[in-house]
Amino acid sequence: MTETTQHIAFSRAGQPLDTLPRCSGVYRFFDTEGSLLYVGKSVDIHSRVMQHLNEGRKPGRHQRLMSQVAHIDCQLTAGEIGALLLENAAIKSEVPLFNRRQRQLRRLWTIWLQPATDGFLKPIAIDFAPTGVRKTDTYGLFANKHRITTSLQNLARDHALCLRVMGLDKGKGACFQHQLGRCDGACTGQESTDSHNQRLLDQLDRQRIAAWPFSGPLLLAEQTIHPVEHQPERQFHLVDQWAWHGCFDSQEDAKGALVNPVKIAFDRDAYRLIYSAIYRGRVALQDALTQRPLVNPLLAERQAAS
């Protein structure tokens, strides 16, 4: 993964902490031997580090952290999105001592909804590919197939969905849950196909991993109106199939990263950050190859929903 953001170092014994940048970015705490203690992010690094110092006056874990900090590295970004993505990647790749440990991606399963001949959507457990093209929506990430079955059974119980029409309860006629009054009757024709499908989608949507809605790699352009000293005025995040390939200070640098592309595994946290930024219209979108502006399909979807 490549990034071109500048780093600025501050020493607690030298440069006054009051000169820490008052802008967005990622900060790293190091001890006297140069070991990485902590990685954090903020829209105002100065204010956040001061909070750390105040919290470090109280006995506990934070005090143990701050007592070891010898110098601070600041990596400035053009905006909050860059700070969030850089922090997420840094915690997972650099493994700071005081950050919460992040689990490595292992073999996972997800839910794919297959339309059946009767019109009902049937949840199918499929192997989740960490890389590759994402052509269709899937739902959730699970350690094994059993957890998918358990999750769907819980959804059915809590929201009166029918396990039979979803293919998880064999037999004909009214399902057992309907006899107990826990199914709204999709199995008996009392609930329509559209109604049941929509309720299932509504419940699974919280776990949705959306299909990639673009024809190729994308640049997310982030800009600050009044940059402080050393802060980049504009940055570009290279994204493809929801995988973040780094933060760049120019379109050409980002395009250059596509010459020898590196396979980046799907990261659930990065996906959520990227999806939210696009959905909320917080970044401008450009085709990474042609650098032409793109229409934001997720923003249009959000506006249509409202």
Domains of the chain by residue range: 2-94, 108-132+138-209, 218-305
185 pLDDT higher than 70: yes
Cα-based angle 136, 121, 209 (whole degrees, multiple of 5): 30
Q: How far apart are CA 221 and CA 237, in angstroms?
A: 7
Which residue's structure tokens are 């790293």?
A: 28
| Average model confidence (pLDDT) across the chain | 91
Residue 112 burial by Cβ neighbours in a 10 Å radius (0-12, 13-18, 19+): middle
2 pLDDT higher than 50: no
14 pLDDT higher than 60: no
More confidently predicted of 305 and 178 = 178
Q: What is the pTM of this model?
A: 0.89
CATH 3.40.50.720 for domain 2-94, yes or no, is no
131, 264 contact by CB (below 8 A): yes
Encode pLDDT of 143-171 as tens digits. 999 999 999 999 999 999 999 999 998 88
* pLDDT for position 142: 94
The amino acid at residue 121 is L
* pLDDT for position 24: 97
303 falls in which pLDDT band (50, 70, 90)? Answer: confident
10 pLDDT higher than 70: no
User: Average pLDDT in the 124-146 region?
Assistant: 94
* pLDDT for position 171: 83
